[in-house]
């Protein structure tokens, strides 16, 4: 399967030309992100939680405290909505109406499931850590038994969703192009600065190669995708 089938929830009504159901597009936007927004209804009230995530194939993993009642409610088949957005530029038009942003976004829908099988639980947690910093998992202590009991891993299958992307300059009404005000795009980037040692770092420990050569720092402007 190379793309998702549109559903009533994912069929784009506005800006259809910016939408995509291609899995390559959806995976790419997810892989470029660091945090997602996880929205759901619990006890009749809307909730939204910003959290780290990781992807393995067609599955997105998130984690949280096992004692979190709202997250645990998701394990009962409640539909969740997970979104990731990158802002690649501020689009300043000649009219207030046509101001916009260049962006890449993904919205996914589906039931969450609690990961209870230990191998998948560990793989899901590893995916989250490796998504943040590739190479880190093998360099640190694995969760002990007590930490494992306190940590819940949830999975969302990439079965229903879509991507949406805007690129390029402002699109003004034809008669507004003659107006005497500046218009254009202010590109935005995510900057990763020089690593700072933990004040309690033991003497003689150097910054790992995977930190000094962090791959995200080499592709800081996603607009070039």
pLDDT of 219: 57
Looking up tokens 């916009």, which residue turns up? 100
CA dist list (Å): 177 to 15, 127, 169: 22, 48, 12
Residue 224 has pLDDT above 50, yes or no: no
CA dist list (Å): 150 to 146, 147, 153: 7, 5, 10
43 located within any domain: yes
Q: What is the CATH number of the domain that holds 83?
A: 2.30.110.10
pLDDT digits (tens, 9 = 90+) for 22-67: 999 999 999 999 999 999 988 888 999 999 999 999 999 999 999 8
CA distance 171 to 177: 9
pLDDT of 190: 86
Average pLDDT over residues 67-82: 84
pTM comes to 0.91
32 located within any domain: yes
Range of the domain at 160: 16-88+101-167
Average pLDDT over residues 144-161: 95
Residue 112 has pLDDT above 90, yes or no: yes
Mean pLDDT score across all residues of the chain:
92
40 located within any domain: yes
182 located within any domain: no
pLDDT of 225: 36
Looking at the 3D structure of the chain, how many domains does it have? 1
pLDDT of 166: 96
pLDDT of 69: 81
131 located within any domain: yes
Q: Are 40 and 47 in contact (CB under 8 A)?
A: yes
118 located within any domain: yes
């Amino acid at each position: 399967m190379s793309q998702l089938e549109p559903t009533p929830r994912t069929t784009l009504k506005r800006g259809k030309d910016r939408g995509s159901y291609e899995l390559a597009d959806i995976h790419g936007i997810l892989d470029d992100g660091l945090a997602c927004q996880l929205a759901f209804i619990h006890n009749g009230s809307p909730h939204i939680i910003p959290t780290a995530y990781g992807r393995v194939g067609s599955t997105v993993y998130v984690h949280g405290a096992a004692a979190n009642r709202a997250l645990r409610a998701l394990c009962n088949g409640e539909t969740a909505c997970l979104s990731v957005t990158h802002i690649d530029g501020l689009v300043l038009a000649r009219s207030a109406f046509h101001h916009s942003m260049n962006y890449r976004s993904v919205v996914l829908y589906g039931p969450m499931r609690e990961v209870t099988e230990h191998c998948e639980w560990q793989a899901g947690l590893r995916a989250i850590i490796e998504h943040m910093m590739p190479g880190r998992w093998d360099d640190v202590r694995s969760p002990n038994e007590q930490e494992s009991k306190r940590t819940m891993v949830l999975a969302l299958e990439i079965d229903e969703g879509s991507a949406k992307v805007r690129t390029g300059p402002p699109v003004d009404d034809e008669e507004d192009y003659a107006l005497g005000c500046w218009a254009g795009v202010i590109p935005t980037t995510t900057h990763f600065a020089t690593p700072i040692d933990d004040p309690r770092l033991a003497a003689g420990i150097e910054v790992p190669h995977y930190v000094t050569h962090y791959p995200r720092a080499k592709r800081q402007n996603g607009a070039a995708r």
